[in-house]
């Protein structure tokens, strides 16, 4: 279960500027994921980080700057700056027109990333429900590019005659829908896996098989 930082006084020693910057970001992500954006203040972030509120503003002059920094920070951990379209395995699969490998490696990477970063998943869920600006920022920086990336591949395979004619964005939405729903079930609603208890590898295989059975000629 996620530790509730709001009930913990975090005491820290002297840190370098970069280390303090990273620490404040991690605290902010955890608090936003637990309490939402309207329920989290810079004063609370400062308290849990063990710094003054002035120190928070020294690193992030505005909340908007903090939101940008969160996306950049998560990107550097393996998200948007190490995206699927730069994955060498997926790039090779695209060159070889290996549909299963393209979708399987994308699916497995997404499922593993969701499982390893529950706080960020919860944060994005809060952002979407609250119609928060970070939700649109994430969409612009990552989600729209995913649609373009997968949609372009689907369109190429349609031109090759390997996939039936269907709006590529519908294929993308169906594919992402399976992955996201599976992860949300595991993270939010069915943590003990009563409904479905399978490995990420098995889930990726089954979802991709369902997708390809529906779109391949």
Q: Would you list the DSSP string of 94-120?
A: HHTT-HHHHHHHHHHHHHHHHHH-HHH
pLDDT at 121: 80
Sign of the dihedral defined by the CA atoms of residues 11, 40, 180, 163, in that order: negative
Q: How many folded domains does the chain comprise? A: 2
Q: What is the largest CA-CA distance in the chain?
A: 62
Six-digit token pair at 108?
């497995």
83 and 171 together in one domain: yes
> DSSP string of 134-155?
HHHHHIIIIIHHHHHHHHHHHH
Q: Does residue 73 lie in a domain region?
A: no
Q: Does residue 137 lie in a domain region?
A: yes
Which residue range(s) make up the domain with 35?
5-61
Residues of the chain with pLDDT under 50: 1-9, 11, 78-81
Distance CA 133, CA 68 (A): 10
Six-digit token pair at 92?
């090779």
Share of the chain above pLDDT 90, in %: 45
Q: Are 112 and 204 in contact (CB under 8 A)?
A: no
pLDDT at 72: 76
pLDDT at 162: 97
pLDDT at 160: 96
| Residue tagged 């509730």 (tokens) | 4
Q: Does residue 66 lie in a domain region?
A: no
Structural domain ending residue among the three candidates 32, 61, 90: 61
pLDDT at 2: 43
Q: Are 30 and 44 in contact (CB under 8 A)?
A: no
149 and 193 together in one domain: yes
Structural domain ending residue among the three candidates 31, 61, 91: 61
37 and 108 together in one domain: no
14 and 95 together in one domain: no
pLDDT at 85: 78
SS3 207: helix
Distance CA 76, CA 119 (A): 16
| Residue tagged 């499982």 (tokens) | 115
For 152-160, the CB contacts below 8 A with 24+ separation are 153/94, 153/102, 154/215, 157/97, 157/99, 160/97
CATH number of the CATH domain containing 178: 1.10.357
How far CA 70 is from CA of 43, 49, 75, 80, in Å, comes to 18, 15, 8, 12
52 and 83 together in one domain: no
pTM score of the predicted model: 0.75
Q: Does residue 69 lie in a domain region?
A: no
Distance CA 136, CA 195 (A): 32
Which residues pair with residue 141 across a beta bridge? none
82 and 54 together in one domain: no
Distance CA 136, CA 14 (A): 35
pLDDT at 193: 92
167 and 91 together in one domain: yes
């Amino acid at each position: 279960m996620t530790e509730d930082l709001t009930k913990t006084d975090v005491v820290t020693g002297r840190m370098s500027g970069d280390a303090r910057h990273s620490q404040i970001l991690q605290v902010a992500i955890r608090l936003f994921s637990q309490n939402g954006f309207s329920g989290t203040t810079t004063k609370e972030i400062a308290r849990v980080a063990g710094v003054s509120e002035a120190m928070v503003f020294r690193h992030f002059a505005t909340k908007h700057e903090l939101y940008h920094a969160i996306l950049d920070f998560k990107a550097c951990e393996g998200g948007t700056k190490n995206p699927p379209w730069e994955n060498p395995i997926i790039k090779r699969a695209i060159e070889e027109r290996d549909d299963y490998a393209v979708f399987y490696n994308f699916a497995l990477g997404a499922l593993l990333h969701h499982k390893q970063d529950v706080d960020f998943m919860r944060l994005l869920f809060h952002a979407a429900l609250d119609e928060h600006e970070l939700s649109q920022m994430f969409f612009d920086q990552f989600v729209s590019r995913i649609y373009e990336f997968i949609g372009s591949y689907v369109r190429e395979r349609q031109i090759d005659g390997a996939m039936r004619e269907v709006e590529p964005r519908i294929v993308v939405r169906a594919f992402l829908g399976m992955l996201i729903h599976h992860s949300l079930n595991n993270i939010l609603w069915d943590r003990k896996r009563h409904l479905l208890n399978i490995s990420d590898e098995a889930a990726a295989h089954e979802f991709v098989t369902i997708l390809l059975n529906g779109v391949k000629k």
